[in-house]
């Protein structure tokens, strides 16, 4: 018995798009592949694994409008007329309806969703892992646009376990190694820094130490020429 084309298409869509149930996580919903029957906008709003949103527009301001449209909360519909919000419940994603409970120590925890994304009143729901990552992408894009308007350079901050450890933020103990930039900076301020002397040093090591001293003295000369040197003027007895 052969099936019609419409039935085969519906069966294929059900195979690629499992239902988004309450309690389902991103690890159990649509992890095998992206639904090929969904367009870019619908696929970005559907439940699924964490992935970066690919913009359709090229300009940053148009990209901002595009990603804000993706992050707008899902609304109920009656006769195709939107009203109220569909998933405005505690611990549920306001976009796809996936249940997600965020802990207070989770670094990926998103802010409270606003009903107009950029402004408006806070909602009772939250974002799932997928849409929390898209919201972080939206924040980075907003910062990039703000930096370009003021002529500043912007680089995305990626937190890591080492950068968040307070022990690594404080350096204790004396310095035993100096970089060439540190030597040049201290020499330009008037410090005299020379490498340790060793009688058994090879000619190559002696040449390297002399090159370091020469570079440091050059930085000191540049600093004096930049700041200016006051030359005392000697007055003769006749002029006095």
Convert the pLDDT of each residue in 73-114 to its tens digit: 999 988 888 888 998 899 999 999 998 899 888 888 888 999
126 — pLDDT class (breaks 50, 70, 90): very high
Full-model pTM: 0.52
Do 204 and 87 sit in the same domain of this protein? Answer: no
Residue 124 placed within a domain: yes
> For residue 64, what are the domain limits?
17-159
Average pLDDT, the chain: 74
Q: Domain total for the chain?
A: 2
One domain for residues 202 and 102? no
Distances (CA, A) of 80 to 52, 83, 111: 30, 9, 30
One domain for residues 55 and 100: yes
CA pair distance 169, 165, nearest whole angstrom: 7
Per residue in 149-192, pLDDT (tens digit) is 887 777 655 444 444 455 554 555 666 777 777 777 777 777 77
CA distance 177 to 25: 50
Which residues are CB-neighbours of 17 under 8 A, at least 6 positions away?
30, 35, 37, 38, 46
86 and 184 belong to one structural domain: no
């Amino acid at each position: 018995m052969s099936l019609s084309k419409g039935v085969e298409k519906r069966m294929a869509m059900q195979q690629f798009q499992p239902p988004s149930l309450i309690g389902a996580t991103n690890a159990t919903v649509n992890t095998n592949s992206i639904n090929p029957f969904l367009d870019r906008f619908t696929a970005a709003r559907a439940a699924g694994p964490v992935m970066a949103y690919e913009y359709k527009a090229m300009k940053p301001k148009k990209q901002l409008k595009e990603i804000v449209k993706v992050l707008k909360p899902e609304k109920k519909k009656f006769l195709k007329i939107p009203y109220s919000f569909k998933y405005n419940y505690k611990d549920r994603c306001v976009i796809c309806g996936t249940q997600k409970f965020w802990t207070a120590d989770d670094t990926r925890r998103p802010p409270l969703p606003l009903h107009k994304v950029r402004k408006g009143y806070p909602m009772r729901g939250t974002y799932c892992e997928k849409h929390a990552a898209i919201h972080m992408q939206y924040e980075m894009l907003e910062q990039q646009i703000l930096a370009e308007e003021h002529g500043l350079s912007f680089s995305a901050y990626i937190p890591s376990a080492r950068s968040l450890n307070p022990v690594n933020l404080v350096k204790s103990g004396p310095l035993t190694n100096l970089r060439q930039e540190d030597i040049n900076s201290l020499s330009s301020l008037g410090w005299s820094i020379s490498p340790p002397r060793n009688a058994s040093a090879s000619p190559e090591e002696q040449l390297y130490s002399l090159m370091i001293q020469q570079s440091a003295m050059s930085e000191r000369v540049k600093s004096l020429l930049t700041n200016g040197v006051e030359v005392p003027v000697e007055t003769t007895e006749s002029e006095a």
